[in-house]
Amino acid sequence: MPSSSPPTIVQVAVPTPLHGHFDYLPPAQGPLPPVGARVRVPFGRRRIVGLVVGHGQGSALPNARLKRIEAVLDETPLLDAPLLNLLRWAADYYHHPLGEVISAALPQTLRQGKLAIARGIERYHVTESGRTIAPDGLTRAPRQASVLRRLQANPEGITLEQLREGQDTDPRAALRALIDKGLVERHHRPCLEPPRDERPDAPALNAAQQAAISSITESLGGFTCHLLEGVTGSGKTEVYLHAIEQVLERGLQSLVLVPEIALTPQLLERFRQRLATPIAVLHSSLSDGERHCAWLSARSGEAGVIIGTRSAVFAPWARPGLIIVDEEHDASLKQQEGFRYHARDLAVMRGHREAVPVVLGSATPSLESLGNVERGQYRRIELPARAGGAVAPRLKVLDVRQQFMDEGLSTALLDAMQRHLDADGQVLLFLNRRGFSPALICHDCGWVADCHRCDARMTWHACARLLRCHHCGHETGLPARCPSCGSPLAPRGQGTERIEQALHKHFPQYPAIRIDRDSTRRKGSLESALAGVREGRYRILVGTQMLAKGHDFPNVTLAAILDADQGLFSVDFRAVERLAQTIIQVAGRSGRALRAGEVLIQTHQPDHPLLSSLLGGGYRAFARTALAERREATLPPYASLALLRAEAVDAQTPLAFLEQARDHLQTLSLPGIHPWGPAPAPMERRAGRYRAHLLLHAPRRQDLQRALGPWLTELARLPGARQVRWSIDVDPADLT
């Protein structure tokens, strides 16, 4: 067929777990839908919205079997070529179906086929007469009465979506009737808050900040990746704001990614106060209407700044200028289910493909990013000092071997707490997020159960009551006595709730609050807890990961890491890196104002080399030691990994499937790939299902990528595949 003849086939990606695109005949009438436009197509017995990803001259199927596109939803492409190509790249790299990848990039409204027009956010409010009328007067129209009551309770107006919440009937008919009666009015609020007229003065920049800003602005117009390293409070956000101003002056947009927990009203307010542009905000608790609006104003270029969490890395923009990833080491940038992408890595790839600079900011950069600095791929910029004159906290190890512990609190720690509380300070107690997979440690001498076949720690499995090596699968019972000092051994752990009780016993006069995922599940409860801390209503905070990030607690003068050992001996090789980051981040919460802070770390391993390097030389020294260990063990960033996970209702089935998968990999005889395992997952049982892992290790990324495609396409055909749920995770961030 000559290539000049007009295309006869439209290739459409649809959101299904099937890989590849589907061929359709062009619509019966009208022009061919362009690549990047949405179309409505028949799919099986349903009608769904797909995205045109290509045009073709022919199909593997005869034309008679092809179905026709029913409607074209966008006359011009909804996704431009660079964004669509980024999504294609991501689908290939993470081995995830393109249709689902595209779906992840679109707001719900557009996925469902709503027009790509932002009319602002429609709100309803009561008129003057609607405000005073008694709803009970509408006796024969109970629905109108109920809608009117809601509106009277919200005189500033509410959206249709809010009206629908918790309601099983559609409020629209009632609204129309109320509007006809002159009791209710509708108005449009623009999508984006207009920029403020007055802006506060920025602090005078120090020399390091000025150098950082010029380094970034000089690189505008092409791709460079900067790693902006500076402790909490060193003025990184100030650098972002100035760089963004320069980008705005050139008429370009900036895209800013932050971890979910860091996207606080305070941060947004700081951006709104300082920047003379409308800001599009994208995060998970927006209403569909708000997200629709924000997404389209990013796409049109109306928003000079787009700020959002992980999935905002796929936000569209009209005039690419600069990408910033704040807290680039943060684990929440990696999606942990479904399409398991890493937003930081995609941000760098996007900057590279769209020729804009990328700034990765952190007080504790990931070892991946430091590896890239080492290789000359990223440019490092440092902010050495704390900007506002705040004093850096002192870090100290508390050796808890042989010490009396009450629910994980040593006497030395209790004494220190008393001192700080009596001096009007606040105290923050930090517990690692995960209570499972602890190493078995002797409380008297610090002995740790090692696998005699591997260079690895054994993991205590409480339900099975045995020790297991997650590298080779070796299992043993619990030794009655410590082989090193003869003391009785008992695995132990403490939960945040038990600690809370112990605190009440020791410090009855000082109110304490627990902040973790369980205690803050209700909407708004985190905000009110944080406000209570800031106002000094609570004097002791106990919490997990959520406390370590982004929040400002100027009156915390003592921070303590209750159990560093779990991080030092986890099965996950990244646990030590996370522990070091946590210690530095927790330290960053204390002494942020002009009061010097103290940070205490409880451990049975006071001489652990990584802990010593962190305390002796700071994160920088730690990272050097940790990178050397990773290089030695050929672990990332000196190798690439992919994790094949499988789960089923019994323990054997996932392992059997993974063995078949490993054997199949070996028949492909691909160079440079090593299967590690299979083995039961460190947290073997979750939600009643048994989980197992097969880790693929490759010193060179290309080898891994070359192998994954051919291997994964065969996995579904393996005999064990039907009995398990399985998934692939490229560059896994979490091996538990």
By CB under 6 A, name the binding residues for ligand ADP. 203-206, 209, 230, 232-238, 387-388
Q: Helix or strand or coil: residue 348?
A: helix
* Residue indicated by tokens 């802006």: 199
CB of 544 to ligand ADP, least distance (A): 21
| Shortest distance, position 234 Cβ to ligand ADP, whole Å | 4
- Largest Cα–Cα separation, the chain: 86
Choosing among Zn ion, ligand ADP, none, which partner's interface includes residue 160 (Cβ < 5 to 8 Å by kind)? Answer: none
CB-facing half-sphere around the CA of 315: CA atoms within 13 A: 38
Closest CB 257 distance from ligand ADP, rounded Å? 14
Q: Counting contacts by CB under 5 A, is residue 452 touching Zn ion? A: no
Could you give the 3-state DSSP secondary structure of residue 98?
helix
188 bridge partner residues? 122
Q: What residues contact residue 395 under an 8 Å CB cut-off, 6+ apart?
A: 583, 587, 599, 601, 614, 615
The item of ligand ADP, Zn ion, none sharing an interface with residue 445, based on CB under 5 to 8 Å by kind, is Zn ion
Output 435 or 473, the one with its CB closest to Zn ion: 473
Which is nearer to ligand ADP, 207 or 687 (by Cβ)?
Answer: 207
C-beta closer to ligand ADP: residue 235 or 365: 235
388 binds, among ligand ADP, Zn ion, none (CB under 5 to 8 A by kind): ligand ADP
| Cα-to-chain-centroid distance, residue 683 | 21
* 648-663 b/e (C-beta count within 10 Å ≥ 16 → b): beeeebbbbbbbbbbe
CB of 607 to Zn ion, least distance (A): 15
Task: Rank residues 262 and 472 by Cβ distance to Zn ion and give the closer one.
Answer: 472
Q: Which of 176, 186, 453, 504 binds Zn ion (CB under 5 A)?
A: 453
Q: Give me the residue label for tokens 């600079």.
A: 357
Q: Which does 206 bind (CB under 5 to 8 A by kind): Zn ion, ligand ADP, none?
A: ligand ADP
Residue 37 interacts, among Zn ion, ligand ADP, none and using kind-specific CB cut-offs from 5 to 8 Å, with none
Q: From the CA atom positions of the chain, what is the Rg in Å? A: 28
Task: Give the interface size with Zn ion as a residue count (CB under 5 A).
Answer: 15
Q: Distance between CA 605 and CA 398 in Å, rounded?
A: 9
In sequence order, the 6+-apart residues with CB closer than 8 A to the CB of 546 are 261, 515, 516, 517, 520, 526
Bridge-based pairing state of the strands 409-410 and 405-406? antiparallel
Closest separation in Å from C-beta 91 to ligand ADP: 34
> Which are the contacts of 464, defined by CB distance < 8 A and separation ≥ 6?
none
**SS3 of 315, please?**
coil
Which has the closest alpha carbon to 95: 680, 627, 551, 730?
A: 730
Whole-number Å distance between alpha carbons of 148 and 178: 8
- Please, which residue, 514 or 551, has the CB nearer to ligand ADP? 551
Strands 689-698 and 674-686: antiparallel
CB of 622 to ligand ADP, least distance (A): 19
The item of Zn ion, ligand ADP, none sharing an interface with residue 595, based on CB under 5 to 8 Å by kind, is: none
Kindly state the tokens that stand for 417.
Answer: 């707490």
**Closest distance of CB 229 from ligand ADP, Å:** 10
367 CB-near residues (< 8 Å, 6+ apart): 577, 623, 626, 627, 630, 636, 637
Which H/E stretch holds residue 350?
helix 343-354
**Assigned token pair, 696:** 């693929």
Minimum distance between the CB of residue 620 and ligand ADP, rounded to whole angstroms?
16
203 binds, among ligand ADP, Zn ion, none (CB under 5 to 8 A by kind): ligand ADP
Task: Please choose which of ligand ADP, Zn ion, none residue 209 contacts, taking the beta carbon within 5 to 8 angstroms, the exact cut-off set by kind.
Answer: ligand ADP
| Residue 237 interacting entry, from ligand ADP, Zn ion, none, C-beta within 5 to 8 Å by type | ligand ADP
| Smallest separation (angstroms) from ligand ADP to the CB of 509 | 32
Q: List Cβ neighbours of 119 (8 Å cut-off, separation of 6 or more).
A: 188
- Least spacing, CB of residue 241 vs ligand ADP, in Å: 8
Residue 485 touches which member of ligand ADP, Zn ion, none, C-beta under 5-8 Å by kind:
Zn ion
Of 143 and 471, the one with the shorter C-beta distance to Zn ion is 471
Distance in Å, CB of 556 to ligand ADP, minimum:
15
**Burial class for 80, CB neighbours closer than 10 Å (0-12, 13-18, 19+):** middle
Which is nearer to Zn ion, 206 or 487 (by Cβ)?
A: 487
Choose the one of Zn ion, ligand ADP, none that binds residue 566, judging by a C-beta under 5 to 8 angstroms depending on kind. none
Which C-beta is closer to ligand ADP: that of 235 or that of 278? 235
Q: Reduce the DSSP state of residue 132 to 3 states and report it.
A: helix
Judged by beta carbon, residue 474 or residue 631, the one nearer Zn ion is 474
Calpha distance 193→144 (Å, rounded): 31
x-or-dash string of contact with Zn ion, 468-497, rule CB under 5 A = -x-xx-x-------x-xx-x----------
Closest to ligand ADP by CB, 308 vs 732, is 308
The partner in contact with residue 234, picked from Zn ion, ligand ADP, none with C-beta cut-offs of 5 to 8 angstroms by kind, is ligand ADP
* Euclidean distance between CA atoms 86 and 256, whole angstroms: 17
Minimum distance from residue 550 beta carbon to ligand ADP (Å) = 9
CA dist., res. 5 & res. 553, Å (int): 67
DSSP 440-486: PB-TTT--B-B-SSSSSBEEEETTTTEEEETTT--EE---SB-TTT-
**Closest distance of CB 325 from ligand ADP, Å:** 13
Q: In what order do the strands lie in the sheet with 725-730?
A: 674-686, 689-698, 640-648, 725-730
**For the chain, how far is it from start to end, CA to CA, in angstroms?**
53
> Between 19 and 380, whose beta carbon lies closer to ligand ADP?
380
Closest contact distance (angstroms) between CB of 231 and ligand ADP is: 7
The residue among 438 and 720 lying less far from Zn ion, judged by its C-beta, is: 438
Query: Of 153 and 204, which CB lies nearer to ligand ADP in the complex structure?
Result: 204
Query: In whole angstroms, how close is the CB of 467 to Zn ion at the nearest point?
Result: 10
| CB-based contact 282:294 (threshold 8 Å) | yes
User: From the list ligand ADP, Zn ion, none, which binds 278 (C-beta under 5 to 8 Å, kind-based)?
Assistant: none
Q: Is residue 442 close enough to count as binding Zn ion by CB under 5 A?
A: yes
Site for Zn ion contains 454 (CB under 5 A): yes
CB 447 to Zn ion: min, Å: 4
CA of residue 529 relative to chain centroid, distance: 22
From the list Zn ion, ligand ADP, none, partner contacted by residue 418 (C-beta under 5 to 8 A by kind) = none
Shortest Å, Cβ 120 to ligand ADP: 32
Residue 236 binds which one of Zn ion, ligand ADP, none, with CB within 5 to 8 A depending on kind? Answer: ligand ADP
Residue 697 tokens, joined: 């290790």
In sequence order, what are the residues at sequence separation of 6 or more whose Cβ sits closer than 8 angstroms to the Cβ of residue 208? 230, 382, 383, 384, 385
Pick what 453 binds: Zn ion, ligand ADP, none; C-beta below 5 to 8 Å, kind-dependent: Zn ion
Residue 286 touches which of Zn ion, ligand ADP, none (CB < 5 to 8 A by kind)? Answer: none
| Structure-block tokens of residue 321 | 């200028």
Of the candidate residues 191, 243, 303, 451, the single one contacting Zn ion (CB under 5 A): 451
Q: What is the contact surface with Zn ion in residues (CB under 5 A)?
A: 442, 444-445, 447, 451, 453-454, 469, 471-472, 474, 482, 484-485, 487
